[in-house]
Structure 1
């Protein structure tokens, strides 16, 4: 599941520590990591201006994110004016685990992310009338039912990743962005339905 300085040492940070999973589930922290990934290093003051949070609040949440390796200090500045940067482009965590603590924390984080997605989509729907016709017609909100095996679903995810990979470097390198490019959040969800009683008996 899943924003950069131009020098991310890794593409994805994988969270398995229940404490880190719970820490990242905070909506302000998810938003801060997203801003650092999409807009590069920011100070707590700059982050406060972008989020509407207080400088003290942003400073606290950035320190908590750093504790679990999601952000780190960048060069320059001191105190609240020191810049922070994300340590990776993306964040992932287990969809399942035999460890009850990890499974519970992972589920809580997934719920928080879905709530964040809903917030982003709702905000977009409220603002779309002020956008250009070109962008309104280009945006996509849809669903399609498919009968797939678990292996086919996993393969489909890998093929989507391959399709998106050519655009990934634009996040960290503004020079790769063509004229007219805007930050677009592509939200993916492939949700298996619960089998009905008739299917379970087959």
Structure 2
């Protein structure tokens, strides 16, 4: 469940940071902390004062949560700045965490983080749907909204995810190098969510398709 960043020119920023410590997983599940990391990846570096302007939270609150994020390696101090006006930057372009762990503490914390991220996705998608009437016709027609019901083995599902990642990979460099963006390119969120349908009993008849707007069936 990655999140894109916007590293500064010349930075040797890792592609992703992997959280495996239950304390780090629980710390990152905080809504404001996820927001701060996302903003730093897209608009950083910036100070706690700027973070407060972007989030509507107090400077003290943003400063506190940035320090917590730094404790677990998600952000770090950036060069420049003085005293309380020190800038912060994200340490990686994406965040990853275990999909499965034999350690119960890690598993529970990872599941809680995944649930928090899912809620965040839902809120953002809902907000996008509420505001899409403001978009130009070409963007409304290009946006994707629907789902597919597939019958797969675990190996096939994993392979499908790898192929989807391979399709998206060529566009990643545009996040850090604006010169690679063609005219008219804008930030687009692509969600990748695939889960076992536990609502349909195994072996029972199930529908062959899923819901999607009529415009996407044309």
Task: Bin the TM-score by the shorter chain.
Answer: over 0.9
Structure 1 unaligned regions, length at least 5: none
Q: Is the 8 A contact 1:20 1:68 kept in 2?
A: yes
Partner residue in 2 for 1:139: 143
Partner residue in 2 for 1:32: 36
SS at match of 2:93: strand
**Residues 137 and 8 of structure 1: CA distance in aligned 2, closer, same or farther (over 3 Å):** farther
Q: Which moved more, 1:64-73 or 1:127-136?
A: 127-136
RMSD: 1.4
1:146-183 Cα distance to aligned partner (Å, 9 max, x none)? 11110111111111111111110111222222222111
Q: Distance in 2 between matches of 1:173 and 1:80?
A: 30
> Gaps (5+ residues) in structure 2?
205-218
The one of 194, 201, 209 aligned to 1:196: 201
Q: Could you tell me which of 4, 7, 17 is aligned with 2:6?
A: 4
Cα deviation 1:9-51 (Å, max 9, x = unaligned): 3111110000000000001111111111112311111111111
TM-score in terms of structure 1 length: 0.93
Find out whether 1:149 has 2:172 as its counterpart.
Answer: no
| Counterparts of 1:11 and 1:66, CA distance in 2 | 17
Per-residue Cα deviation, 1:177-200 (whole angstroms, up to 9, x for no partner): 22221111111101111262557x
> Hey, what does 2:65 align to over in structure 1?
61
TM-score (structure 2 length as normaliser): 0.87
- Mapping for residues 144-183 of structure 1, pairs under 5 Å: 144-183=148-187
Alignment partners' CA distance in 1, 2:70 and 2:162 = 30
Please point out which of 111, 115, 119 is paired with 1:115.
Answer: 119
Alpha-carbon displacement from aligned partner over 1:85-116 (angstroms, at most 9, x marks no partner): 11111111111111010001001000000000
CA distances 1:97-139 after superposition (whole Å, capped 9, x unpaired): 1101000100100000000001101111111112211111111
Distance 1:197 1:184, change over 3 A: closer
Q: 2:83: which partner in 1?
A: 79
Counterpart CA distance in 1 for 2:180 and 2:202 is 52
Quote the Cα distance in structure 2 between the aligned partners of 1:13 and 1:107. Answer: 17
Q: Which has the higher helix share?
A: 1
